[in-house]
Amino acid sequence: MSDTFEHEFGGQHTDIKLEIVEKYLKRYSAALHTWCDQVWYIDAFAGTGRRTVRVKAREGDLFEEPVPEQVEHRRGSAKIAIDIEPPFDRLVFMDVKPKHVAALEALKAEHPSRDIDVLEGDANKLIKSEIAWEGWRKTRAVMFLDPYGMEVEWDTLRRIAETKAIDVWYLFPLSGLYRQAARDLAKIDGAKERAITRMLGTDEWKQELYSDAPRPAANLLFDMEPVDVRQRNADVAGLEQYVQKRLKTIFAEVLDPFPLPSIERPQKFSLFCAISNPSKRAISLAQSFGGSIVKSMPASHHRTGR
C-alpha cells in the first residue's frame, strides 16, 4: 500500500459508523434506482478512501501465542461508496488536504469507468457552490459529513436541506460541543461562543441550554453582593436532544441518532440521518431504512433509556 493512502483516524466506533452508513447506502441506492434518473453520493470530508488501523499487540498466555501489533488497511467511506451495488451514478469526493485529494484522485484512477469528481477545498464553500443548481428535481443524493470536529457550519446544513433532495449522514461532534459549552456560561469566551453559534445556527442555545443557578446568599462579612451565575442545565443527552431539535427546524425528518462510541462512555459523537425531501414516501423510506439498520446491529449497540 503506497503512503498516499495512509490515513489513521477514529477508534473502534469508526467501524460501526462506516457499517451504519454502508447499510444505508445499499438500501438507498437499491430503492432510489427503481424510480430516479440519477442517484449520487457526495462525501464532503472524504479522507483518502482508505484507513489505516493499528491492531494492538496481545501478550501471550498459557494458551495463546503473543501477537505483535498489526497494521491493517480497511476501506474508508469513499471506497465503500464506490463499491455499493447498484452503483451510484455519480460520486463527488471533497477534502481540504492536498495529500488526501491526491489519494482520492488515485482512487478515481482505479475506477476509470465511474463518474467521479474530486474537489479540493473547504467543504462548507464547496457544498454551497456545488449544490446550487436546478437539477435536483430528477436527481437524489446521499451526503456524508464526517468531519474531525466542529467544521460543519449551520448555513451549509440549511443549504443542503433547501435542495429537498439530499439525505445527510452527519457525524455530530458532541464532545466538541460539551467541551466548548462550559458548565458556567460566563466562562465561554467569544471565540467559543461564535463557534457554537456557527455550528447550531442560533445564539438561542444560551437561553435554551443554560439557566440561572440558585442565587448564593450575600457575603455580609466582606460586604459582597451575590453574582448571578448561568449554568448549563443540559447534560450530554440533553445536548444531543437539542441538536436533534435544531436539525428538525430545517430538515423534513431527523432520525434518532446513533450514539458513538456505542458502549464506552463518554459518548463522543451522535450519528444523525437527516432527510431533506418532505414527501411522505421519502420520509417513510428513510425511517424504514433506519429501523432495519438498528435491528441489524448487535443489541449492545442499541441506544438504551432515552
Ligand X SMILES: C[S@@+](CC[C@H](N)C(=O)[O-])C[C@H]1O[C@@H](n2cnc3c(N)ncnc32)[C@H](O)[C@@H]1O
By CB under 6 A, name the binding residues for ligand X: 9, 18, 45-47, 51, 76-77, 94-97, 100, 122-123, 146-148, 151
**Plot region of 49 (φ>0 → left; ψ -120 to 50 → alpha; else → beta):** left
CA 79, CA 173: separation in Å to the nearest integer?
23
- Identity of the residue, 148 or 211, whose beta carbon is nearer to ligand X in the bound complex: 148
Q: How far is the CB of 51 from ligand X (least distance, A)?
A: 5
- Identity of the residue, 46 or 181, whose beta carbon is nearer to ligand X in the bound complex: 46
Contacts of 233 (CB under 8 A, 6+ apart): 209, 210, 211
CA 65, CA 177: separation in Å to the nearest integer?
43
Say if CB 157 and CB 131 are below 8 A apart. no
- Identity of the residue, 80 or 285, whose beta carbon is nearer to ligand X in the bound complex: 80
Give the angle 265-267-270 at the CA atoms, nearest 5°. 155
Q: How far is the CB of 14 from ligand X (least distance, A)?
A: 7
Backbone angles phi, psi at 127, to 5 degrees: -60, -50
- Identity of the residue, 125 or 164, whose beta carbon is nearer to ligand X in the bound complex: 125
Q: Which of 43, 189, 37, 161 is nearest to 107 (CA)?
A: 43
Say if CB 123 and CB 100 are below 8 A apart. no
The rounded radius of gyration (Å) of the Cα atoms in the chain is: 22
Q: Which of 240, 239, 296, 298 is nearest to 272 (CA)?
A: 240
Q: How far is the CB of 61 from ligand X (least distance, A)?
A: 35
Q: How far is the CB of 43 from ligand X (least distance, A)?
A: 6
Q: How far is the CB of 153 from ligand X (least distance, A)?
A: 9
Q: How far is the CB of 37 from ligand X (least distance, A)?
A: 27
- Identity of the residue, 154 or 213, whose beta carbon is nearer to ligand X in the bound complex: 154
The residue with its CB nearest to ligand X is 76
- Identity of the residue, 9 or 263, whose beta carbon is nearer to ligand X in the bound complex: 9
